[in-house]
Amino acid sequence: MTEIAQALYSFWNSFLIPAYVEDNVPDDATLPYITYTVSEPDWTNPTNIQARVWYEGTSLVPLNAKIADIKQAIGEGKSIKTGTGFITIYRDTNFAQFQPYDDEGKSNVKVVYLNMILQAFTRR
C-alpha cells in the first residue's frame, strides 16, 4: 500500500464505521460503511477524490450526523502525515450530495456522495 493510500485508509477509518476502497467492499460487509477512491497525484497537481457514505434505514439523522462529522474533520483542509511528507484533503465546492439508490428493492439504503480535492506533498 502506498503512503497516500495508507493515509486515506487511516482518515476514512477514523469515523467509527468501516471504510473500504471503492469497488473493494467485502461480500459480508454490513451497513453503515464508507467507500472512497484513492488517487496518487504529484505535488504540483491536486486531484479530485470521492467518497460515499452508506446507511440503511428510514431516518436521515444518523447519515447526516456522519456527514457533519466528516465535514468538521476536514474543516478548511485536513493535513495527514505520511512517511515522506503529508497529504491535505479539502472539501470541493459541491461537497455533499444525496445519491438515489434502489438495488433489488433495497430502497431504504441511503447514500451521500462526497467530493474533495487531494493535494499530496510526498517524495516518490
Strands 109-121, 47-56: parallel, antiparallel or unpaired by DSSP?
antiparallel
pLDDT of residue 100: 81
The sign of the torsion formed by the CA atoms of 52, 54, 58, 61 equals negative
pLDDT of residue 1: 59
pLDDT of residue 105: 66
Geometric angle at alpha carbon 45, from 39 and 48, rounded to 5°: 45
Strands, sheet with 47-56, edge to edge from the N-terminal-most edge strand:
19-21, 33-36, 47-56, 109-121, 86-99, 78-81
pLDDT of residue 90: 97
For domain 3-121, which CATH number applies: 3.90.1010.10, 3.90.340.10, 3.30.2000.10, 3.40.640.10? 3.30.2000.10
pLDDT of residue 101: 77
In whole angstroms, give the CA distance from residue 71 to residue 84.
Answer: 26
Q: Please report, in tens digits, the pLDDT of each residue of the chain (124 residues total).
A: 599 999 999 999 999 999 999 999 999 999 999 999 999 887 788 999 999 999 999 899 999 999 999 999 999 999 999 999 999 999 999 999 998 876 766 678 999 999 999 999 887 6
C-beta contacts of 34-42 below 8 A and 24+ residues apart: 36/8, 36/12, 38/4, 38/5, 38/8, 39/4, 39/118, 40/2, 40/4, 40/5, 40/120, 41/118, 41/119, 41/120, 42/120, 42/124
For the chain, what are the domain ranges?
3-121
